[in-house]
């Protein structure tokens, strides 16, 4: 199999994947310390998706972190903060509606994915598996059958992602995923994250 430079970078990681972590939509006890611990443990992309936070709360969270971790964070609100913090970028809507460089957005079919492929660095594609964070949000098994010749390097698989699912995604040619429920439903989110690091595919 011929791999491009980006794909080679992914499989050089211990798990063979680039795993992004999405913040819990709810505020949790000790969450700030947990997020810092996750970054210290090697999380390379953290999506700050706190829809109920105002600009001041979001800025306060960024200020609480060492600046060295800001380039690992993707904002989902308050795009004006991109002018003040060296974060990784902004997760927007489709098509882009903000006067900022959106790095990615969410899609739910390969048709949407291919239509927006050239506009973004990544695209969340879901739901691959039964959601662990949304009740009655089941897998779209059609996503298990990518169209022939569809470039998959920008797919970030979302929806019920667990360590056990990584080999299945790898067989499809997908090397990126984002996790939410598996991390935040766990009694120990840091331990849950480390299980991803131990998967070999």
CB atoms within 10 A of CB 162: 16
Q: Domains of the chain (ranges plus CATH)?
A: 31-91 (no CATH), 96-192 (3.20.20.70)
Q: Where are the alpha helices (DSSP H) in the chain?
A: 5-11, 31-40, 55-64, 110-116, 166-172, 181-184, 189-197
pLDDT at 138: 85
How many Cα atoms within 13 Å fall on the side-chain side of residue 180? Answer: 23
13 has a pLDDT exceeding 60: no
pTM, full prediction: 0.88
Question: For position 94, what pLDDT does the model report?
Answer: 67
């Amino acid at each position: 199999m011929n791999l491009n430079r980006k794909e080679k970078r992914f499989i050089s990681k211990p798990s063979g994947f680039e795993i992004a972590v999405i913040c819990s939509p709810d505020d949790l006890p000790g969450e700030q310390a947990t997020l810092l611990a996750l970054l210290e443990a090697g999380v390379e992309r953290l999506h700050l998706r706190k829809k109920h936070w105002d600009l001041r709360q979001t800025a306060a969270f960024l200020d609480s972190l060492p600046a060295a971790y800001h380039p690992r964070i993707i904002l989902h609100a308050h795009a004006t903060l991109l002018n003040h913090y060296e974060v990784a970028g902004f997760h927007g809507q489709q098509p882009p509606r903000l006067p900022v460089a959106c790095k990615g957005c969410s899609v739910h079919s390969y048709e949407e994915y291919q239509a927006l492929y050239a506009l973004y660095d990544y695209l969340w594609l879901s739901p691959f598996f039964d959601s662990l964070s949304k009740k009655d949000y089941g897998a779209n098994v059609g996503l298990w059958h990518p169209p022939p010749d569809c470039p998959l390097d920008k797919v970030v698989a979302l929806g019920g992602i667990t360590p056990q699912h990584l080999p299945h995604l790898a067989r499809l040619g997908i090397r990126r995923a984002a996790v939410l429920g598996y991390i935040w439903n766990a009694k120990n989110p840091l331990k849950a994250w480390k299980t991803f690091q131990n998967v070999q595919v």
